[in-house]
Amino acid sequence: ITVHPRPDERHITRADVPDLMNLIMQEFPDREFNIEGYPNEAFMTLVEKIRPHQITLVPDDPSQATSDHGWDFKTHAYKLQTIVSRLKQTGARISLFCDPDPDQVEPAVSTGTDRIELYTGPYGGAVDDPAKAAGELEKLGLTADAAHSHGLEVNAGHDLTVDNLPPLIARIPDLAEVSIGHNLTSDALTYGMAETVRRFRRACGQVV
């Protein structure tokens, strides 16, 4: 389960976070809890208290409707290095949101992060332009190749669907995890949540 406790709590409230952690630990101990957000002091204090399995850091302005870009690691590497070092004291795996740009990988490595999460928005947004989608997919693939060559694991998220996931998985077969939010919920209105989850798992190449 991934949650993004934004300051205005439009997605989830801060009070929900410990309840979800308790639910996972008690009833689904083989599952993970990932808390995503911008690393201001309020967020840092929250994840240090909850100690989730994974912490994903995004460069969002609090007023943004959703995440729409990755970190500029060349500019913010030192700042992120300090933040990552502090958050690793929780025992969590750290993942940093990353644009599909191989040149960002080496400075990302210098932060000490465990993973990057590829921002797949441009790929997902090219649904009506196959040539553009192919180009965006290759940028994602090259970035993942660079990350794996430096020992980083790779997540991916944003605008992923049952249709665009199979090509992504084919190009990045070592993808560690994908984050599905809006499309999972919207598809569930048609197929129901259980069948929607099965559909997405099949799109990721899992046998269900």
Positions marked catalytic: 4, 36, 158
Q: Which tokens sit at 99?
A: 């644009």
Q: Which tokens sit at 73?
A: 């690691």
Residue type, 20: L
In whole angstroms, how large is the CA radius of gyration of the chain? 17
Please, are residues 160 and 127 in contact by the beta-carbon 8 Å criterion? no
Please, are residues 32 and 72 in contact by the beta-carbon 8 Å criterion? no
Please, are residues 183 and 160 in contact by the beta-carbon 8 Å criterion? yes
